[in-house]
Structure 1
Amino acid sequence: MKYLFILVSLTYLPFFFNLHGEESANKLEQPLTVNDRKGRWNFQWGYNRSSYTQSDINFRGPGYRYTLKSVDAKDKPESFKPEVYLNPSKFEIPQYNFKFTYFFTDHIFVNFGQDHMKYVVTQGQTVNYSGYIDPLVLQKNLLAPSVEALVFIYLFPNHLQEMAGYHGGEQTIALTPDILKFEHTDGLNFLFADLGWATPLWTASDGQSGISLLSSIGGGAVVCRSDVRVMGKGQNNNFHLSGYGVSGYVATRYDFTRTYFIELGGKGGYIDLFDIYTSGGSNRASQNFGFLELVFSGGVSF
């Protein structure tokens, strides 16, 4: 009887191992879904519209130190032109966004990227200002004014002179080109690193498409190229590390294959620019403000 049991066991043993092997193979052969992201890289490119809170802009240089208060600014989107948006050699003209993403797990990821925003102080607005400006600074600037300021200086010669002397904050001034042109249009470049989490919301029955919610927080350096005219004088400055930013991002992502996806997101944050180039030499400005971005992008996963 004992030998009969051993014989039967040996007879069915290959079948048992074959069955177990088939089950393991079936598990291994299950197709990967769009939610299997561990170890994958993503690259995406897109465009943004941005908005900014009011900010106090502080100006300093030899002979002056003053603040323009609660200044309004807006973005400067490029109108859609195929020869711009579809031309790789002109990628820096629109307000663009790009980032690389690496997934440590199916849910946890890290981003590295750049938001190329544009910031333009609204011309014609009236603001309060405080501080001191040496009258000799204004006279010196009038010897070699910027092209933008010339018309206003000669049509309204007393406008710029209003800024001379001490001001306690009750005075107001209209921000015409003889007083201020202030833009980060090439641009307001936020270089960031984010840590984030991906949450699947819906996955197709075959697992090859789906919708996810992505959220992340992070921060990084802000590099500006500032086009500035202060009291009739200024220049388009070089790129310069001007400050830092922190932000949070939330987006809905649609993967229509495991390789390609599109994403619509919103980013909000805070930027502190403590060293802005203005009119050359040791002349500087500083400001801080909140920002919001609406970002549409597409990408590849590999």
Structure 2
Amino acid sequence: MFYFDRSRNKQRIVSLKHKLYFLLICSCFSSSVWANENATPLTINDKKGNWNIQWGYNRSYYTQSDINFRGPGYEYTLKGVDAKDKPESFKADVYLNPSKFEIPQYNIKFSYFFTDRFFLAFGQDHMKYVVTPGQPVKYSGYIDPGVIAKNQMALSLESAMFIYLFPDHVQQMAGYHGGDQTITLTPDILKYEHTDGLNYLFLDFGWITPLYTSSDGLSGISLVSTIGGGPVVCRSDVRVLGKGQNNNFHLSGYGVSGYVATRYEFSRTYFIEFGGKGGYIDLTDVLTSGGSNRASQNFGFLELVLSGGIAI
């Protein structure tokens, strides 16, 4: 009888444990369901912890620039030089071919939102810069006549043809010049391009301001703003007084900038953005015709950028 009662008590304890476990599981499940039912659905304005990745293309515009050239036997400055960008004409084989992504003037940016509104961004603006050929400019400085004679022993093809047709043109650059003289930038005088890249590498602080959000919170329009700066890496194709080369990539200076854009977001995942970036670039160490020959310049710039992106 004693063993029988003890056995019954043990069964009751086991049964009670099972009921408690069952009630605990039900309680957790119901709490989870209640929490899910009462949770506020995420909208495009809930950005904290998100990454944005975007890709786009630009048109670029530049202010006039004084370009200083220096090397053994010469140092002179071309004043008020005009330059423009060099966009690739639209071709599906270029713009839709991932293996040729570096050919157009492109922009790539990665952003991390550390709050719903504020973010840090880093990336690259691949611009192109071409001094307009044929323009007349004033110049000052000194060029040893021996430098011109030496350069004519290693002329580029386009320079050689022009010097053959107009042999006295480049000779005008010899000697001292006070800044009142004018020279036309023909191939025997200068070819100057950053076309394999005026590459602005930036780190920006930014913020986003919602302007309109749809009723379901899945699409809307926002204003995006950033400020920042970073190094500029150039690959410069240069001919100075007829001699030069297409140089390697080189850390040539730095830039600072501000950016404002309008963004349209949809499906909480994708967005399209159109904006403008303005800033200042100071190139203190541009490679030119080899050896210790260098150039330096500074200028303002404006980019118009159309890009698309994804939020993850």
Q: TM-score, normalised by structure 1?
A: 0.92
Structure-2 residue corresponding to 1:245:
255
- Letter matched to residue 117 of structure 1: M
Secondary structure of 1:270's match? Answer: strand
Deviation (angstroms), 1:143: 1.3
| CA deviation vs aligned residue, 1:122-168 (integer Å, no higher than 9, x gap) | 00000000000000000011112111201110100000000000000
Q: 2:88 aligns with which of 51, 59, 78?
A: 78
Corresponding residue SS for 1:276: strand
Of 48, 66, 85 in structure 1, the residue corresponding to residue 58 of structure 2 is 48
Give the Å deviation of 1:28: 4.8
The aligned residue for residue 35 of structure 2 is 25
Distance 1:132 1:39 in 2: 58
Q: Does 1:63 align with 2:73?
A: yes
How far off its partner does 1:282 sit? 0.2
Aligned partner of 2:228 among 194, 207, 218: 218
Match of residue 14 from structure 1: none
Matched, 1:154 2:164: yes
1:47-79 CA-partner distances (Å, limit 9, x unpaired): 000000000000000000000000000000000
Q: In structure 2, how many angstroms separate the alpha carbons of the residues matched to 1:126 and 1:190?
A: 29
Q: Deviations over 1:155-196 (max 9, x none)?
A: 000000000000000000000011000000011000000001
Q: Identity over aligned residues, as a percent?
A: 77
Residues 28-58 of structure 1 deviation map (CA, whole Å, 9 limit, x = unaligned):
5321001100000010000000000000000
Matched letter for residue 97 of structure 1: N
Q: Out of 200, 204, 216, which is 1:194 matched to?
A: 204
- Matches of 1:282 and 1:205, distance apart in 2: 63
Aligned pair count reads: 285
Distance 1:70 1:28, change over 3 A: farther
- Measured after TM superposition, the shift of residue 27 of structure 1 is 7.0
Confirm whether residue 96 of structure 1 aligns to residue 111 of structure 2.
no
**Residue in 1 that maps onto 2:243:** 233
Shift of residue 25, structure 1, vs aligned partner: 2.1
* From 128, 131, 140, the counterpart of 1:118: 128
1:270 corresponds in structure 2 to: 280
Secondary structure at 2:203 match in 1: strand
Aligned twin of 1:255: 265
The SS at the match of 2:124 is: strand
Which residue identity is paired with 2:311?
Answer: S
**Counterparts of 1:23 and 1:52, CA distance in 2:** 59
Paired position in structure 2 for 1:37 = 47
- Which has the larger Rg? 2
Gaps of 5+ in 2: 1-26
* C-alpha deviation, 1:26, in angstroms: 5.9
CA distance in 1, matches of 2:34, 2:214: 25
- Mind listing any 5+ residue stretches in structure 1 that lack a counterpart? 1-16
Distance 1:40-1:164 versus aligned 2 partners, 3 A rule: same
Q: Which residue of the partner structure matches residue 219 of structure 2?
A: 209
Q: Distance in 1 between matches of 2:126 and 2:39?
A: 43
Give 1:127's aligned residue.
137
Provide the rounded CA distance (Å) in 2 between the counterparts of 1:260 and 1:196: 19
Q: CA RMSD in A?
A: 1.6
Q: CA deviation at 1:227?
A: 0.2
Question: Counterpart in 2 of 1:183?
Answer: 193
Report what 1:7 is aligned to. none
CA distance in 2, matches of 1:240, 1:40: 34
Q: Distance in 1 between matches of 2:103 and 2:32?
A: 57
Q: 2-side partners of 1:71 and 1:46: how far apart?
A: 29
Q: Distance in 2 between matches of 1:260 and 1:249?
A: 20
Distance (whole Å) between structure 2 residues aligned to residue 24 and residue 235 of structure 1: 71
Rounded Cα–Cα distance in structure 2 between residues aligned with 1:153 and 1:187: 29
Give me the TM-score of the superposition, normalised by structure 2: 0.89
Q: Choose from 101, 104, 109 the match for 2:119.
A: 109
Q: Does 1:298 align with 2:303?
A: no
- Cα deviation for residue 286 of structure 1 reads 0.1
Cα distance in structure 2, aligned partners of 1:90 and 1:26: 47
